[in-house]
Structure formats: C-alpha cells, structure tokens
A and B are shown apart, each in its own frame.
Chain A
Amino acid sequence: MHEITDHPAFAFDRAEGGVEAYRHTANGLTVLLAPDPSGEAAPPVAAFQVTYRVGSRNEGAGLTGATHLLEHLMFKGTDRFNREKGTSVFQTLQSIGGSINATTWYDRTNYYAVLPEAYLPLAVEVEADRMRGARVSDEDLASERTVVLNELDRGENEAFRKLLHAVFASAFHAHPYGHPVIGWRSDVETVTASGLRHFYDTYYWPSRATASVAGRFDRRAVLDLLDEHFGAIPRGPETAPEAEPLADIVDSVTREPEQRGERRTSVRMAGELGSVLLGYKAPPGLSETSDALDVLVQVMTAGKSSRLFRRLTDRGLTTSAFAYYPRLRDPGLFLLYGNLAADVEHAEVEAELKAALAEIASGGITEAEMERARRQVIADEAYGRDGPHAIVAQLNEAIAVGDWTLFTRYRERIEAVRAEDVQAAAAAIASDDRLTVGHYLPDPS
C-alpha cells in the first residue's frame, strides 16, 4: 500500500505502517504522508499539521508559558493573513469548514486543520506563511495576554489542575517540567514580544518542523504544494557554520537531580470532595520500559476489569480512579489519581493507590490481564486510524517524544511486552523515595 513518490525537492526516507516519510533536501523539513488506504472511496477530507519541536520544556525562569503565548500570537496574523484584511487564519480556514486549532505541550507545539480535501492548498499556504512571517508584535501581545490570563484563570478554577501543577512543581525542582505548560501567572503578565520572538526565531524553522498530512489527497500534488510554499524558507539558524553548537544549546535543559525521599504537597480551595494524586518518577517516553508502562496503565485503569476500578471505585472509596503515563522526551512521571467518594479519607485512598502499584511490582499481572491489555491496544490502534485528525494527532505525540515511528510500530511494540516486563517496570518506579504525593483538600466554606 505504500507508494514512493519521486520528487525533485524531497528525499524519500522510509515507509511503514501506512506512513511515508520524506525530507526536503534544501531545508530539512520532515514530511509524513498518511493517505487513506481506501483511496477514492475515502471521505473527501484531509488533515494538515505542522509540529514544532518546542514546548514548555524549552522555557527558563521568567519565560514560563512563552511557547504557549507564542502559539496564540501565531493566530494574530502575518502581512498576508490578518484580521484587518478579513483574512486571519481563523477567518480563512474556518470559512471553508475547517476544524482548526493549535496546542502546546511540554515537548512540542502543533498547528492543525481538518478540512475538505479541496482546500488543502490553503492550509499549506497559511502554515508556510506563518512559519517565518508571523508579526509577534507588542500590540498583538497586549490584547492576547489578557486572553491567556483568562485561560489560565479558567484552569485555576479546577482543583485537579491546581493539584497537577503542585505535584509537578514539587517533583521537578530543576527540570522545566516543573512549571505548568501555560506558565506561572507573573511570567504571563510580564513577558515581552521580544521574549516571544526569541522562541519564534530559535525554533520556528523547517529543520525543527514536521508537516503531517492524512486523509484523502494526491501524494504528488501535496509534495508539490509543500515544496512550493515551504521550499524557499531557509532551514534554520543552525545552518550557519559559526552557529553549529546552537542545536545543542536550544535543546539542552537542566537535568533533574535524583529524588531521594518522598515529597508531599497539598492544595486547599473551596470545594466538595477531595482527591489524591501520586506522581512516581518515570523514564523518558522512548526508554525500553515505556511500552511496559503503557501496558501497566491499561491493567490499572482500562474499564471495570482494571485493578483500580476493582480496588477503589467498585468498593466505594473513589468515584473514579486512573493511572496515566504521559510519554515525554525527558524523564517524567507515572501518575495515579483518585477522586474521593463522600466520607472517605485521603489517607485511605493514598494507601490503596500505593498498594495497587506495589501489588503488581511484587506479584506481577496475570496472563489474562496481559492478553486483555494487548487486545485493547490492538483495538485502540485500529480506532486511532479512524479519521485523518486521529492520525495526525497521534503522529504529533510520537514526534514530540522524538520518534514518529512510535505511532506506526506501536502495536508490535506492545505485542512484544511480556507480563514479567510489566512487573519489572512497576517495580522500577514503585519507590516512595521517588514519589510525590498531592492531596486536594476541599474547603466547604
């Protein structure tokens, strides 16, 4: 089903799992094509996405939240597409029915549009134009800053969000994962346009970007389009010989010192029912144990067969409980969370969450659990290809971790995990010395 398209501007890299990869020979732009295998029978819809390898991980003190604020300013316009002309990005792409947005995360920022296939050229043109043509002006920042502050306030309304921020801040003293992706409020209030432009001019270049296309489209036509609009953009500042070390500088971050002892934090705010969040230090998303940790999440969380449902929710201790392992580029956290039921103490839920993990670390999982987790992942893999947006969204996260083939090889990677690997992965993280405990303490007043 793969086709290799000869194109003068692109070098074919490889094809696997329904994705064909190319690199622009002049500027290094990576291109991933995921054409709908049903060809002409596919719905006439395509998704176009540009992922930049920059996120809150790249922010230092005083500039927290800058990559997210920059993402907002990327919609404020270029000389070509702007609100004054009635051609802002939203006006241009939403007016043809596109579902468009952008998101910022720890390791990446992405811009995407899902739209009728006929308008794919417009989406490519818009993204190429703002890759280097964004205004990032003081005037635009002034109005957008209050928008982002309101977004921040919305998040701070939620006890869970506050608790998550508190646990990450306690778990990471040095590494930038310790600050929220949206940033600390005072930084959002004070960052300047030149501060944002630093991020723009450092990271928004073809050599740090991946363009992904999924759905129904003509391969050759899309490569032509990408070359036409992105081809003339220089690859990025690291191309200058004197700037050779820059690639290392822009990607370097402070390594988190080893945690040696349990940390505890709490959030008190008005509310009704409390919650408990445990964050265990966990390996980076491309480590050997990451796949086993994904299986561990399934075993602990997926459905009513899961360990956490049986141990907590079914017994009336929590109204919901889950495990979550965000695969990040650097070492991150393996999270366990429980929403307390009425009249249940935090200590009891904390003990049960810890025990659920310890039980697997010492006793392992059953073959039935292993097989169920495999089946769930296989089904999720098929569901994950349901529609072009689902495909580019998954590619986006794989790119962020550092390897897009994480998407295409995911099923085989999970199928290779054995029950003993899951036990070993649980044992490797289940140490109280590398744990941060967070309690949300609702204040009825």
Chain B
Amino acid sequence: MSDLSIASRVAVQDAGAARVLALPTGIRDVVSFRGSFHTGPDLGANDDVVQDLVTDVLDKGTRHRDRFEIAEALEGRGARLSFYSDGLRAGFAGRCLRDDLDDVLALLAEQLREPAMDDDEIDKARRKTIASVRRATESTGAMASGAFSRRLYGPAHPNHVLSPEDEMATLEAITPEAVRRYHAEHFGSDDLLVSFVGDVDPEPLATRVREALGAWPAHGLTATFVPSALAPEAARETVPMTDKQNLDVRLGHALPITRADDAFLPLFAGVFALGGNFSGRLMQTVRDEQGLTYGVSSRMGGVAVEHDMDVRVAISLSQENLDRGIEATRAVVDEWASGGITEEELERTQATLIGQHAVALATTGGVAARLLVNAERGFDLSYLDRYVDRVGALTAPEVSAHIQRFVDPERFVQVVAGSVVR
C-alpha cells in the first residue's frame, strides 16, 4: 500500500439511512467529521435563502434543550459543531475528543431532526443575516464576485449570487412559518453521507450513527434549478464604492462542463498553471516581475457535478495601477489561451497537484472534507487514489487543446469593484 493510498483504509458502512465513511489515523483523541444531505430546493424561488436561515437556527434550541443547554453540551467538552447550507445540499462539520463522540452525535441528530425554531430565534437570525449582507457591501471582493456571478448565471442557477438589495428584500419577506415549513419539508436523510477521520473505531461508530440518524426519514424531493449558465456575453461592469483605494477585479466566463466531465481535469491543470499559486504565470509576471499587485490568481469557480462552472481570474489592484494591472493580466491570459502551456509548466503543475494531495491528508479535518466531497460527487473511493495517476497522465498538448477549446478571453466578463477614478 502506498503512503498516499487512502481508499483501502476507509471503512464504508451503511447505518440505516446514512452512509458512513470512517478512516482511523494515528492521531490520538481527536475525531473530525463532516456530513451532508440533499435538500431538494427550488432555487428559482430563492429557497437557498430560506435554507441558510434554517441552518442558522439549528443551534438555537431543540424541543428538548434551549440554545444555552446546547452550547453548554458542546462547549463544556471543547467540541465544535456547525451547520452550513450549500445550495443543493445542507451539511455539518465538527470536531471533538474521541470520548465525547457519542454524545456529540446524539446532539447532532437532535439538532437536525428536532430543532425548536422559535419565532424569536428565527427573527434574530434573519436580522443578523441582513446585517451581514450590509457589511458585505463594504467588501470589494464580495461585491466584485457577486456582480461577476450575476453576469454568468441566471437566478435559478446554483452559482448565482443574489444582489445585496435582492437578498435583503428576500430576507425581509421570510416568515418564521416559512422557515419551519422548509425544515419540515426539505431536511431529511436524502443521500445522507457522513465521514469520520482520526481516533475512531469504525464498527461501533456505525452503530452510533445508526442509532442517531439511521431512522431519519427522507423527503424524496428533487432539486429544481437551471444547470446551464447564461448565454455567453462579454461585458464590462464597474461597481462604484467609496473609500476603497484597493480595487477587486474579476475576469472570466462560464464553462459548459461539470466536474464529472473528462474535460475537467485537463482544464483544471491548465487553469492552475496560469494562476493556481505563486509559481503560476500570473503571479510570476504581474506580481513578481511587474510589481503591480499583491495577489492575482485563476481558478475554476462553482465546481460541481450537477451544473456548469466557470473559469475566473481575480486581481487586487491599487487605484494607481488599475488600468496597467488589468492590461498586464489580460496579456498573460491571452498568451496562455492562444499558446497553451509548456511541458515544463505541466510537469510543475503535476508535481504540485500530487504533492498538494498528500499535504491535504495531513489533518483529520482535511481528509474528512475530501472523503465527503468525493462521496457527494458520486465518485467511488478509489478515485481518491486514481486522481494522482490521472493527473500524472496528463500531457501538455492535451491540456493546451482543452484551454484553446474552452477558454476565449474575448468573451471574458470584467467586473471592477472599488473607488474608480476616471
């Protein structure tokens, strides 16, 4: 068994409605876990906003304990447990000491299945979220990314980000009853996956999960959303903001592929070579050589097996370097898109991605997250090991051909957020 092989060490067990993936490691006392389930939202009806509120109030009391008793049960043990909403799925993440795992699992199940969802707590969560949206309007990065997503994706696409105004209006209109109803109708054990990594014993663990979540009913709903991006349309947009001497810029366009397509990995490697880290062309040229920015990067955005994604370049620029920085970035991207990547760049990218795969396995939380995402995508466990071989088998002509086929800088949407002086 190779040091990097983890598939053969993961125990996969059915625990009633839940599928459990458990990987014992050498760490003592600590267990990290991640879990998620399908919620079947209607994204065109802004269900994702309601779903966010549901996950916000899961720790604000159950039918058996109030919010402070829940906090005490976790914090008295130094345990961590949080809930999140991610468009098509909702989930949870936690970490605790081995001896506390049974109690934490029981509490997790209680919070998921029997939340109190009092009017008062829902209203507090709603007001807090509205305040967060208002605060986010002070962030050039958030404003640039939001505007960029709205150019690429329609309202019913999972990668669409509501404008602050629309999100606040939606939040204002949500009633406590609607939040409770959404929980009752959309939270269940549909494709319920849980990964555990660390000081765990898989057999008794599966029994505990079965006791806690094995009988959680499924709702059987199918998500309603538009999987395709909007028709491509090059555009330039400025989001004017006061007192923001640093501007955030986003460049890119949607890609008509999913994470499950064969085209993903060669494109991913190509985009990584462009700007995946400091050694990529963008940082080497625009930062290291020209000194125009603190950070410029490229990546695949909104990656999922269910829908389209995008290629995006992010740059931060001081006001005096705005035009030069965008121009320099576009020049690097143009050359990359037309000429592809070199053999040397591919070799470096392959070594980096394979090395990163190993480094990501060094923490229990990192491995638990990887196991969960892999299972959510419907990939079998062996993909985690095959990934290294597949990356290693890529060729520079193959990667370059994918870049040339899928990426067209002429069609890039460009968004600038900050204090623009003209």
Contacts and interface: CB of A to CB of B under 8 A. Distances in A.
Interface stretch (A33-41, A48-56, A173-181, A356-364): A33-41
Nearest to A39: B26
A378 interface: yes
A276 to B, nearest CB: 15
A298 to B, nearest CB: 9
Interface residues of A, number: 76
A307 B140 CA distance: 33
Interface string B130-155: 11101101111000000000000000
Contacts of A145: 291
A150 B29 contact: no
A302 B59 CA distance: 15
Contact of B25 (A41, A157, A339): A41
A273 B131 contact: yes
Contacts of B354: 97
Nearest to B26: A38
Interface stretch (A203-211, A236-244, A382-390, A429-437): A382-390
A143 B290 contact: yes
Nearest to A384: B30
A137 B395 CA distance: 38
Question: Counting chain A CB atoms within 10 Å of each CB, which of B78, B288, B316, B366 scores highest?
Answer: B78
A153 interface: yes
A383 B199 CA distance: 12
B29 A382 contact: yes
A98 to B, nearest CB: 6
A96 interface: yes
Given A38-B27, A116-B355, A148-B294, A95 B362 contact: no
A145 B418 CA distance: 22
B284 interface: yes
Contacts of A156: 245-246
B27 A386 contact: yes
Interface in A136-174: 142-151, 153-154, 156-159
A372 B75 contact: yes
Interface in B31-46: 32
A154 B130 contact: no
Contact size range, B: 35 or more
A179 to B, nearest CB: 19
A36 to B, nearest CB: 7
B365 interface: yes
B276 to A, nearest CB: 9
B137 A43 contact: no
B76 interface: yes
B359 A305 contact: no
Contacts of A190: none
Interface stretch (B66-74, B181-189, B372-380): B66-74
Question: Counting chain B CB atoms within 10 Å of each CB, which of A39, A76, A303, A341 scores highest?
Answer: A303
Contacts of A159: 138
Contact of B318 (A115, A149, A272): A149
Contact of A377 (B78, B290, B344): B78
Interface string A26-38: 0000000000111
B26 A157 contact: no
B67 A304 contact: yes
Contacts of A115: 355, 359
B76 A371 contact: yes
Interface string B48-92: 000000000001000000011011101111110000000000000
Nearest to A154: B246
A150 B351 contact: no
B362 A215 contact: yes
A385 B353 CA distance: 25
A122 to B, nearest CB: 11
Interface in B233-292: 241-246, 277-279, 283-284, 287-292
Given A147-B293, A157-B244, A382-B30, A38 B361 contact: no
A380 interface: yes
Contacts of B348: 91, 95
A323 to B, nearest CB: 15
Contacts of A158: 138
Interface in A205-242: 215
30 contacts: A43-B25, A43-B362, A44-B3, A44-B4, A83-B284, A95-B352, A96-B352, A97-B357, A114-B359, A116-B359, A146-B321, A153-B318, A157-B140, A270-B242, A270-B243, A272-B134, A273-B135, A303-B71, A305-B75, A310-B68, A314-B67, A319-B135, A375-B78, A378-B78, A379-B77, A379-B79, A383-B95, A386-B27, A386-B32, A443-B242
**Which are the 8 A-B pairs with shortest beta-carbon distances?**
A97-B355, A38-B26, A379-B78, A143-B291, A387-B363, A304-B71, A270-B242, A153-B246
Interface of A: 36-39, 41-45, 76, 83, 86, 88, 90-91, 94-99, 114-116, 119, 142-151, 153-154, 156-159, 215, 269-273, 302-305, 310, 314, 316, 319, 339, 341-342, 371-372, 375-380, 382-383, 385-390, 443, 445
Given A96-B352, A147-B291, 20 more contacts: A38-B25, A83-B289, A95-B279, A97-B353, A97-B356, A148-B294, A150-B294, A150-B321, A304-B59, A304-B68, A319-B132, A339-B135, A341-B131, A377-B78, A382-B30, A382-B97, A385-B27, A386-B363, A386-B364, A445-B242
